Amino acid sequence: LITLLTDFGTADYFVPAVKGAILSVHPQATLIDITHEIPAHDIRSAAFTLNACFRDFPERTVHLAVVDPGVGSSRRPLVITSGGQILVGPDNGVFSFVFRQAAEFHVFHATEAQFMKPSGSETFHGRDLFAPLSALLDQGLDPAEVGPEVLDYNVFDIPDPQYDSATGMIIGEIIHIDRFGNCITNLTTKELDGFKIPAGTCLLIGTQRVTHFGGHFAQAAGGELLAYPGSAGYWEIGLWCRSAAALLDLRRGARVVLETGPAGRVDR
Amino acid sequence: LITLLTDFGTADYFVPAVKGAILSVHPQATLIDITHEIPAHDIRSAAFTLNACFRDFPERTVHLAVVDPGVGSSRRPLVITSGGQILVGPDNGVFSFVFRQAAEFHVFHATEAQFMKPSGSETFHGRDLFAPLSALLDQGLDPAEVGPEVLDYNVFDIPDPQYDSATGMIIGEIIHIDRFGNCITNLTTKELDGFKIPAGTCLLIGTQRVTHFGGHFAQAAGGELLAYPGSAGYWEIGLWCRSAAALLDLRRGARVVLETGPAGRVDR
Amino acid sequence: LITLLTDFGTADYFVPAVKGAILSVHPQATLIDITHEIPAHDIRSAAFTLNACFRDFPERTVHLAVVDPGVGSSRRPLVITSGGQILVGPDNGVFSFVFRQAAEFHVFHATEAQFMKPSGSETFHGRDLFAPLSALLDQGLDPAEVGPEVLDYNVFDIPDPQYDSATGMIIGEIIHIDRFGNCITNLTTKELDGFKIPAGTCLLIGTQRVTHFGGHFAQAAGGELLAYPGSAGYWEIGLWCRSAAALLDLRRGARVVLETGPAGRVDR
């Protein structure tokens, strides 16, 4: 089982060329698309999306992630093992969320040329380098055999919520916006436990104050903004049947402030 | 064989999370996308699309349909058997076209918790509830074992063409518009038999009069609107290489009038 | 293994209906999408995309290409063998690039009705005619058995670069624009050898002069237009992380002029 995540889109020949190259090495491979609609070259969006679902797959699934503005340059190809899963892709930060959330992981620099295909084109590493490598890993190749373990892999900075001791507020930010316009924050259950939310708690976002906290949208069918623990492990802000991001005119990176009323204090 | 129909889009992690959850239960499952581009929360469009193609699949295919504005609320999960096929999804009307066209069907309310996964998130029933249920059904679980048969399932109203005895006209409407801009009406061969169309028959739609009835677009290559029996079982109105919906500025629900000229009368 | 290339889009029931029809004949078939996002009825775009990737698949893959503005009319269904691959689709030019680049090929007109399904609808040959035919070919049906070999198949004109002996320039054109806005020209290594580019060589396109020739985008990270040998076998013009087509306001068919400076002359 091999999953694919790229920014190639589905209109061109790029994705099928990668799949054809995998199947040429390993005709029995099962291929599942994560998505090919990552905005072009948006490594942060790719990193979020990969991390949000790769653990849902069976053990020893190979996850190939190719979002690489540096294609053809000297980005090292990496193979990562974590929690029984295998991840493959360039050393450009696309695994940053995985590295941050995983309890344990190992990172290997794929240097063994015998596992890759001599490239006809310098512009298409997805097909010529990563596809055969993923096919062989799915066939049982030991990740430790692809090259040396490395510790100096690239990660991008994922902001931590900041506690402001003067006001008792926690300052977070929007790290992703999904297709429904739901805004995913970097606040987790560590900052706000869904089962004991102090009276008066609210989230300040843009010019709005979110005071509804709940598990599902039917609780916000009246049209109010709702904060809820999302399926990716973060608190999200959404609107029933509409786009919260559009209503609030929000982009990734927007600030979110968690504050508690006089009746309580958010437990840290 | 499991098909998937959702309004999740293909840009986010939702669809692969559902697929990963299915494959974690049933690694040998074959997964086929019907579509994930149903407009967000558009149950009518989902119902039309599902019904238009699910019979093309082999017997005992499991069809998972998740378009659910009420996610996390108390929508009952349903399992339906009809014509040798199995359908799975929420009780919100998404099976309305199936119920209307099927010669026979049975509807079961999935209540047996052992067939679903304890949900980590209340917002993602597609992954946590419907995915394992579909996987088990594909592995051979008897639909009758998932819970009690029910008769009070939800359906939305699908308009019937109306016969106006004063004028002899039949009043129908547009029930779907496809990606090419073809307009699918609710008129079937019952209202208009393609093999014997009385002289003078026409369809009135918007400000236009459709007088060409035929089997394929090459008959309307001159640029006229054409009515033809579509592959979903309804008469459609289309334009060769262009969008009839755009030309006519039509939306779903628009009125279509079938009238016959002096030379004939539409057979009822 | 069967690949599918259409202009059906992924929002409607067309693609799953074709897949269901294939799986009904051949339940073990592996189905891979090339793309369904070919612009409606754009045979040239389909022809380019098919040719750019079909050779990446294992031998004896069946490639089904359905982009057919003449659906329902008298377009002959073709089955083509080339380089160990099998291609299936209408006789409307969609195989033009294959015919041009292939060292050898045979074209058969599928006339044997037993390999196709009696059509319920004249408008959906993809499902009713091409799907069962592709399924049987994937199961081992000999392409020579589907009907007589023909030589009068349709091709559209693919422009050759023109050498202007007066000026020494080579006049080419843009034959495709991909999702990143990269502009694929009809210039190959025959016109310009990437390993020996004479000093002063440049590409004139729109109002711009491209003077950077290289193997990958990292060489053009400064924001200049770059010409590079693309993965489809043609020279392309691109911009790092941006759309060259948008910058240059280019469309397919735009003229590209290859000229060499005083220091050299392009080798023919």
- One-letter-per-residue 3-state SS of A48-86: HHHHHHHHHCCCCCEEEEECCCCCCCCCCEEEEEECCEE
Q: Report CB contact under 8 Å: C231, A121.
A: yes
List pLDDT tens digits, range B177-219: 988 889 999 999 888 887 778 888 899 998 889 988 886 655 6
Q: Report CB contact under 8 Å: B56, C21.
A: yes
List pLDDT tens digits, range C56-100: 999 999 999 999 776 555 689 999 999 999 999 999 999 999 998
Return the amino acid letter for B220: A
* Tokens 């009307």 belong to residue: B93
Alpha-carbon distance B109 to B79, whole Å? 6
The token pair that represents A172 in the structure block: 């977070």
Find the mean pLDDT for residues B257-261: 82
A34 neighbourhood in chain B, CB within 8 Å: 13, 16
Alpha-carbon distance B236 to A72, whole Å? 49
A9 neighbourhood in chain C, CB within 8 Å: 37, 179
Alpha-carbon distance B60 to B80, whole Å? 11
List pLDDT tens digits, range C184-202: 999 998 888 877 788 889 9
pLDDT for the residue B197: 83
* DSSP code at position C127: I
Vertex C26 angle, CA C23 and C29, to 5°: 75
The nearest CA of chain C is from the CA of A180 a distance in Å of 17
Q: Report CB contact under 8 Å: B217, C72.
A: yes
Alpha-carbon distance B171 to B227, whole Å? 15
Q: Report CB contact under 8 Å: C216, A40.
A: no
Mean pLDDT over the full length of chain B:
88
Nearest alpha-carbon partner for A85 in A30, A153, A145, A137: A137
The nearest CA of chain B is from the CA of A165 a distance in Å of 31
Find the mean pLDDT for residues A11-17: 94
Nearest alpha-carbon partner for B188 in B256, B87, B260: B256
| Local confidence band at A267 (pLDDT 50, 70, 90 cut-offs) | very low
List pLDDT tens digits, range B137-167: 999 999 999 999 999 999 998 889 999 888 8
Q: Kind of pairing, strands A235-238 and A85-90?
A: unpaired
Q: Report CB contact under 8 Å: A58, B24.
A: yes
| Local confidence band at A220 (pLDDT 50, 70, 90 cut-offs) | low
The nearest CA of chain A is from the CA of C230 a distance in Å of 7
The nearest CA of chain C is from the CA of A184 a distance in Å of 26
Report CA C92 to chain centroid distance, whole Å: 14
B30 neighbourhood in chain C, CB within 8 Å: 23
Torsion of CA C122, C127, C129, C134, to 10 degrees: 170
Give the range with max mean pLDDT: A224-233, B47-56, B239-248: B47-56
Q: Which chains touch A (3 or more CB pairs under 8 A)?
A: B, C
pLDDT at C171 over 80: yes
CB pairs under 8 A between B and C: 99
The nearest CA of chain B is from the CA of C18 a distance in Å of 8
Q: Report CB contact under 8 Å: A58, B127.
A: no
3 state SS for C202-253: EEEECCEEECEECCCHHHHCCCCCEEEECCCCCEEEEECCECHHHHHCCCCC
pLDDT for the residue C135: 97
pLDDT at B114 over 60: yes
**Does residue C42 sit at the A interface (CB-CB below 8 Å)?**
no
Candidate from B32, B218, B228 with C-beta closest to C70:
B218
| Local confidence band at A170 (pLDDT 50, 70, 90 cut-offs) | very high
| Local confidence band at A41 (pLDDT 50, 70, 90 cut-offs) | confident
For an interface test with B, give the residue of C4, C6, C13, C91 to mutate (most B CBs within 10 A): C13
Q: Report CB contact under 8 Å: A35, B10.
A: yes
- Print burial letters for B173-211: b (CB count within 10 Å at least 16), e (below 16): bbbbbbbbbbbbbbbeeebbeeeebeeebbbebbebebe
Q: Cβ distance C14 to C20 under 8 Å?
A: no
How large is the C-alpha radius of gyration of chain B? 21
CB pairs under 8 A between A and C: 99
* Tokens 């009368």 belong to residue: B265
Please tell me chain C's helix, strand, coil percentages from 3-state DSSP, rounded to the nearest 5: 25, 25, 50
| Local confidence band at B232 (pLDDT 50, 70, 90 cut-offs) | confident
**Does residue B119 sit at the A interface (CB-CB below 8 Å)?**
no
Instruction: List CB contacts of B169: < 8 A, sequence separation 6 or more.
Output: B163, B257, B258, B259
**Does residue B24 sit at the A interface (CB-CB below 8 Å)?**
yes
Q: Which residue from C minimizes the CA distance to A31?
A: C32
Q: Report CB contact under 8 Å: C27, B179.
A: no
Q: Which residue from B minimizes the CA distance to C13?
A: B49
**Does residue B24 sit at the C interface (CB-CB below 8 Å)?**
no
pLDDT for the residue B141: 97
Q: Report ipTM for this prediction.
A: 0.89
Candidate from A33, A56, A217 with C-beta closest to B71:
A217
B36 neighbourhood in chain A, CB within 8 Å: none
Percent of chain A with pLDDT over 90: 59
List pLDDT tens digits, range A61-91: 999 999 977 655 568 999 999 999 999 999 9
Residue ranges of E strands in B7-156 = 31-35, 62-66, 77-82, 85-90, 106-109
Among A182-191, B111-120, B198-207, which stretch is predicted with the lowest mean pLDDT? B111-120
Q: Which chains touch B (3 or more CB pairs under 8 A)?
A: A, C
Alpha-carbon distance A133 to C248, whole Å? 37
Q: Report CB contact under 8 Å: A11, C232.
A: no
pLDDT for the residue B268: 42
List pLDDT tens digits, range C207-243: 889 988 886 655 666 678 999 888 788 999 998 778 8
Q: Report CB contact under 8 Å: C71, B230.
A: no
Q: Which residue from B minimizes the CA distance to A57?
A: B20
**Does residue C63 sit at the A interface (CB-CB below 8 Å)?**
no
| Local confidence band at A224 (pLDDT 50, 70, 90 cut-offs) | confident
Scanning A125-184 for CB atoms below 8 A from B yields: 178-180
**Does residue A41 sit at the C interface (CB-CB below 8 Å)?**
yes
Q: Cβ distance C90 to C76 under 8 Å?
A: yes
How large is the C-alpha radius of gyration of chain A? 21
pLDDT for the residue A264: 47
Q: pTM score, two decimals? A: 0.90
Among A19-23, A178-182, A248-252, which stretch is predicted with the lowest mean pLDDT? A178-182
pLDDT at A47 over 50: yes
Q: Which residue from B minimizes the CA distance to C17?
A: B53
Q: Which residue from C minimizes the CA distance to B38?
A: C11
pLDDT for the residue A117: 73
Mean pLDDT over the full length of chain C:
88
The token pair that represents B97 in the structure block: 């076209």
Alpha-carbon distance A64 to B260, whole Å? 60
Element of type H or E holding C46? helix C43-53
pLDDT for the residue C190: 87
